[in-house]
Amino acid sequence: MTETLGDLLDRAAACGQRHIVEAAEGLDDQGRSRLAESLARVPWDDWDQLHALVVDPPAAAPPSAMRPPVACTMAQIDGDALKARGEEALHRGAVAVFTVAGGQGTRLGWNGPKGTFPATAITGKSLFQVQAERIKAAVSHYGQPVRWYIMTSDENHEDTRRFLLDNRCFGIDRTHVQLVQQGMMPAFDATSGDLLMAAPDRLALSPDGHGGAFAALDRSGAIEHMRHRGIEHISWVQIDNPLVRVLDPTFIGLHLCDVTSSGDFSSKIVGRAHAAERVGVFVQTDVGMQVVEYSDFDESQAAAVGDDGELVWRAANIAVHLLSVEFMADAAAAGTGALPWHRAHKAVGYYCPAQGDMVMPDAPNAIKLERFVFDALSRAQTPALLEVQRAEEFAPIKNASGDDSAHSSSALQMALHRDWLRQASVQVDDAAQVEISPLVAQWAEDLAGTPLPDQVSADAPFVLEHGSA
């Protein structure tokens, strides 16, 4: 039953949030209904536990008994057999793409959903367009529609919907694209643990993390929709990696191969680039596989090197997963306690009733709480890991400049595409600017049979588009 504003204000007062009760006093009817909507997002039943996590967090530490996980490399697996297995699933239409695109993209500082960010090196195609072209290529290759589920948040849902419609979903049948809106969580004052307000009639809310996907997929009916359509697995990708192979048949084959995997949760990894790389790392514990955040390692652990000269904790998470629909349904059914909350200390603008105005802090003042998908790994029976080449599959755009920026991503995209052309016997200048559309090639071998020049120089950018060769 929906709670009235009065009920919700009683709950707020019982949890010591009197500033919200006071703010409600000056509101008109519309404001009161907006405030009720906002307050209904607060998990009041878990208040004590969440408040304690905000003001008195447990010390972060990696699990005490952990060892490097077993991961398959492309050299170890029977790539042809696994690819055939994965292709069979794709021919049946049993795999959908699920893109998580509900984040705030704070580090990038782009005004709009991250998926609308221009990402390719020369033509500046958006991140959404790149994924759409990869899906379109798969549709024509496998002769099956591929459903594309995209997670959005309250903040970017409408802009995402409009962008995709304005661009006719970049050639994908509109009825095959479904947006799934994730949940929102309140931001807390980092010192007092009080809820921050964004206005007298609104709490400061932010998306509940990519781990909010299970509840969002369930709540929106997407899980039922998938079952109905014969979709058995989803290929989980993030929006901000233009090199991500959204449907990789070999990885799908590995996920479905019962010798290596229980087929519920599989992940791709790359070797960690260096000891200070800010990336989560897969570890094996006695109670299952986990991802440990870089910030939980101390310096010596992060830098530990094994007898083989490699970093011990090297299985870097690039957030590319395969999950079975039934696994996601179970995780959603397990409810709110299934995944832990993680804290993020961030600068959040807030409405200050005493000043009657907004305050924009220039240092982190708030705690946001998020859930992470990889915490569901502990629910998986035998998760499989596939180690892939970073240069081929990972060029994320996270930051406005420096590492993992549009600039570094473009350089990586161009280096890969130069390499593909060279493998196809084209002479390519080291400084040549090159971009190859996913509609032409997603793998080096896709260039076989494509008419190509003998040489690509640095004099003019070289773009290989569908129909341009």
Residue number, nearest CB to ligand UTP: 103
Residue from 10, 43, 104, 429 binding ligand UTP (CB under 6 A): 104
Q: Which stretch binds ligand UTP (CB under 6 A): 105-113, 197-205, 327-335, 351-359?
A: 105-113
> C-alpha distances in angstroms, 25 versus 21, 28, 51, 449?
7, 9, 25, 71
**How far is residue 21's CA from residue 9's CA, in Å, rounded to a whole number?**
6
23 binds ligand UTP (CB under 6 A): no
Residue from 133, 240, 387, 435 binding ligand UTP (CB under 6 A): 240
**How far is residue 91's CA from residue 250's CA, in Å, rounded to a whole number?**
14
Contact 108, 114 (CB under 8 A): yes
**How far is residue 88's CA from residue 415's CA, in Å, rounded to a whole number?**
32
Residue span 199-228 as binding mask against ligand UTP, x where in contact by CB under 6 A, dash where not: --------xxxx-x----------------
242 binds ligand UTP (CB under 6 A): no
Residues 6+ apart with CB under 8 A from 462: 432, 433, 434, 435, 453, 456
Which lies closer to ligand UTP via its Cβ, residue 102 or residue 200?
A: 102
Which lies closer to ligand UTP via its Cβ, residue 99 or residue 324?
A: 99
100 binds ligand UTP (CB under 6 A): yes
Shortest Cβ distance from residue 340 to ligand UTP (Å)?
15
Which lies closer to ligand UTP via its Cβ, residue 170 or residue 420?
A: 170
Cα-Cα-Cα-Cα torsion 275, 276, 277, 280, nearest 10 degrees, comes to: 80
Q: Which stretch binds ligand UTP (CB under 6 A): 100-108, 300-308, 404-412, 441-449?
A: 100-108
Q: Which stretch binds ligand UTP (CB under 6 A): 73-81, 96-104, 196-204, 258-266?
A: 96-104
Which lies closer to ligand UTP via its Cβ, residue 182 or residue 235?
A: 182
Helix (H, G, I), strand (E, B) or coil at 418: helix
**How far is residue 350's CA from residue 308's CA, in Å, rounded to a whole number?**
51
Tokens of 45: 């039943």
Q: Which stretch binds ligand UTP (CB under 6 A): 103-111, 162-170, 328-336, 435-443?
A: 103-111
Q: Which stretch binds ligand UTP (CB under 6 A): 63-71, 107-115, 360-368, 383-391?
A: 107-115
Window 151-210: residues binding ligand UTP (CB under 6 A):
151, 182, 207-210
406 binds ligand UTP (CB under 6 A): no
Which lies closer to ligand UTP via its Cβ, residue 103 or residue 253?
A: 103
**How far is residue 321's CA from residue 247's CA, in Å, rounded to a whole number?**
10
Window 352-371: residues binding ligand UTP (CB under 6 A):
370
Window 290-329: residues binding ligand UTP (CB under 6 A):
none
401 binds ligand UTP (CB under 6 A): no
Residues 6+ apart with CB under 8 A from 87: 142, 249, 253
Cα-Cα-Cα-Cα torsion 125, 131, 133, 137, nearest 10 degrees, comes to: 160
Count of residues touching ligand UTP (by CB under 6 A):
22
- Per the listing, tokens 């652990």 go with 301
103 binds ligand UTP (CB under 6 A): yes
Shortest Cβ distance from residue 183 to ligand UTP (Å)?
9
> C-alpha distances in angstroms, 251 versus 100, 209, 228, 231, 296?
19, 25, 24, 17, 29
Tokens of 254: 């590995």
Which lies closer to ligand UTP via its Cβ, residue 153 or residue 437?
A: 153
Which lies closer to ligand UTP via its Cβ, residue 93 or residue 105?
A: 105
Q: Phi then psi for 466, rounded to 5 degrees?
A: -60, 125
Which lies closer to ligand UTP via its Cβ, residue 398 or residue 418?
A: 398
Q: Phi then psi for 385, rounded to 5 degrees?
A: -120, 135
238 binds ligand UTP (CB under 6 A): yes
**How far is residue 265's CA from residue 376's CA, in Å, rounded to a whole number?**
9
**How far is residue 454's CA from residue 435's CA, in Å, rounded to a whole number?**
16
User: Which residue(s) pair with 267 in the sheet?
Assistant: 321, 385
Residue from 18, 91, 92, 107 binding ligand UTP (CB under 6 A): 107
Residue from 19, 85, 114, 321 binding ligand UTP (CB under 6 A): 114
Residues 6+ apart with CB under 8 A from 41: 183, 184, 185, 186, 203, 205
Q: Which stretch binds ligand UTP (CB under 6 A): 235-243, 306-314, 356-364, 418-426?
A: 235-243
**How far is residue 89's CA from residue 180's CA, in Å, rounded to a whole number?**
24
Name the residues that contact ligand UTP, by CB under 6 A: 100-108, 114, 151, 182, 207-210, 212, 238-240, 370, 398
